[in-house]
Amino acid sequence: MSYFIQPKKYTSLLDLQHTELGIKYLKDFFQQGLSAELRLRRVTAPLFVLQGMGINDDLSGVERAVTFPVKDMNDAKAEVVHSLAKWKRVILADYGIKEGYGIYTDMNAIRADENLGNLHSLYVDQWDWERVITADERSLDFLKEIVNRIYSVLLRCEYALSEVFPQIEPVLPEKLHFVHSEELLQMYPTLSPKERENEITKKYGAVFIIGIGCKLSDGSVHDLRAPDYDDWTTVAENGLPGLNGDILLWSSVLNCAVEVSSMGIRVDKKTLLHQLQLTGETHRAELLFHKRLLNGELPLSIGGGIGQSRVCMFFLRKAHIGEIQASLWPEEMRREVARYGINLI
């Protein structure tokens, strides 16, 4: 039960029926707003891909994908996606999406190695999005511009929800605070990365932490990132490495930061090779996705994932992601959360 955060004096603001109504309202409103703000068209996404293609997201590199044999393909192994970080870039190329436009999709995944708790489930649902960019847009300023536009959708979403459910009062600050992971280390040198996230997010209400995966001055990384989608090594205008990051919102229900999005400018040929070398993963260059990128067949892009259940959990002021989605939970956790008035779906 070490991953269960005990909320103080928790009472759900919505009953089960109104929670379901709120979930639908939020999902419809947000994806329409995101599509309009970033000029994204919806596409259909796979639940599984063939193993060994280099298309599945490797996350931090240690999580096991759920695999199964396909009888009519000579028992070739398929694996359930972790996310669609690399698949989306292939689709941008195959669909011939132009610069300044992109795609989004409803991504559903299974992450069997998650440490289950208030914010983590076996079942993952995201709005995965990807947009074609120019070489000049591979910059920190452009990254911030896109992040601010996504945050503006979150602000509109919270206000619209409060009109439907007046008991849910808007709490997000008008502006998102940007900070680099190296700056966080200097501000809170004795704290762990998660503790730093809590301190900075509690202070500002909503933050974007830049440089997830890059090496910090003490030799550590703020958090792990796979080497073949986000660019976390390019030195930006501020002299610090990293063209990616996470959006975090402060939850007064859980008294902690809630990560709702991970995103970034994607690797080009140069940074792909560099990051594969840094992580000892140069063998990946022979996989299908990586060959297409190195051969110049994939466009430059920016993209990310926005957690659907996390967004709904935050805006509906819920204490557990299991109040938003149907998943599996240890019986011990079910008994524990029931003591705090948490009803898991």
Catalytic residues: 57, 111, 126, 246, 259, 262
Q: DSSP secondary-structure letter at 190?
A: T
Give the three-class secondary structure for 195. Answer: helix
Structure tokens at 221: 């990384």
Cα–Cα distance between 87 and 266 in angstroms, integer? Answer: 12
Structure tokens at 29: 């409103």
Cα–Cα distance between 84 and 72 in angstroms, integer? Answer: 25
Residues 6+ positions from 93 with CB-CB distance below 8 Å: 292, 297, 298, 299
Cα–Cα distance between 64 and 53 in angstroms, integer? Answer: 16
Residue 218 φ then ψ, to 5°: -90, 5
The amino acid at residue 261 is S
Cα–Cα distance between 272 and 41 in angstroms, integer? Answer: 27
Query: What's the first-to-final CA gap in the chain, in angstroms?
Result: 19
DSSP bridge pairs for 261: 247, 306
Cα–Cα distance between 145 and 172 in angstroms, integer? Answer: 18
Cα–Cα distance between 98 and 94 in angstroms, integer? Answer: 11
Per the CB < 8 A criterion, the answer to whether 340 and 300 are in contact is no
Longest dimension (CA), the chain: 57
* DSSP letters spanning 59-89: TTS-PPPPEEEEGGGTTEEEEE-S--TTHHH
Q: DSSP secondary-structure letter at 237?
A: T
